Amino acid sequence: MTLALGSADHPARILIVDDEPHNRRVVEVMLAPEGFLLLSADNGEDALAMVAQRPPDLVLLDVMMPGMDGYQVAARIKGDPSTRNVPIIMVTALDDRNARMLGLAAGAEDFLSKPVDRAELVVRVRNLLRLKAATEELALRASELATVHAIAHGATARLARLQGITAALGNTVTQDDVAESVLSEAIVALECKAAAVVVTEPGSQTLTLLRE
């Protein structure tokens, strides 16, 4: 979880999206002491292009922008399976219930009202980065567990089939019976295709076709 929160070698990448240069600069000054890698875009189209190229760890997204507004940008980010887990904080001068409902519908995780308070900004950013890190850690552990389960299931199935070979050998009498039993059980146990069973006597280079 250290990577998502940021470290000296791998600082968390935060994308600031606002059409006003002054607003972007204010947020950058507030977050710079925290050691984050700060990126910026002045419109929704550029922001989406940057997110698609390399998803950031978090997006600070202004709502009121010309062209594509913040709601549309958020909906596009959350609608893409490769970026849907990127947390979004919407920054708005609109402090009403309807604006926040629209933001939630678009997929935003949190909101900040302008003018932005530095302490509140830092706390909300860090909380969402921790949540993202915990979610990614949980997904990784679930994937590892599923892989281990699949391997164990396959090993158990193969062991059962090999035990079938042993049982089949116990019920054979002739060499042909042995070859027939081993071949049929081995093909199933090893999940492969075989055309023939060939044996050779110790010290001999003569091959004997048992079954074809």
Find the mean pLDDT for residues 183-208: 57
Instruction: Give tens-digit pLDDT for 97-151.
Output: 888 899 999 999 999 998 999 999 999 999 999 999 988 888 778 777 777 777 7
11 cis-preceded (ω within 30 degrees of 0): no
35/185 Cα distance (integer angstroms): 62
Whether 10 shows a pLDDT value over 60: the answer reads yes
Instruction: Give tens-digit pLDDT for 60-108.
Output: 999 999 999 999 999 999 999 999 999 999 998 877 788 889 999 999 9
The structure's pTM equals 0.66
Residue 175: per-residue pLDDT: 60
> Pairing mode, if any, of strands 58-62 and 13-17?
parallel
Measure the CA angle with vertex 113, ends 75 and 45; round to 5°.
35
Which residues have CB under 8 Å from 172's CB, separation 6+?
178, 180, 181
Confidence label for 198 from pLDDT (cuts 50, 70 and 90):
low
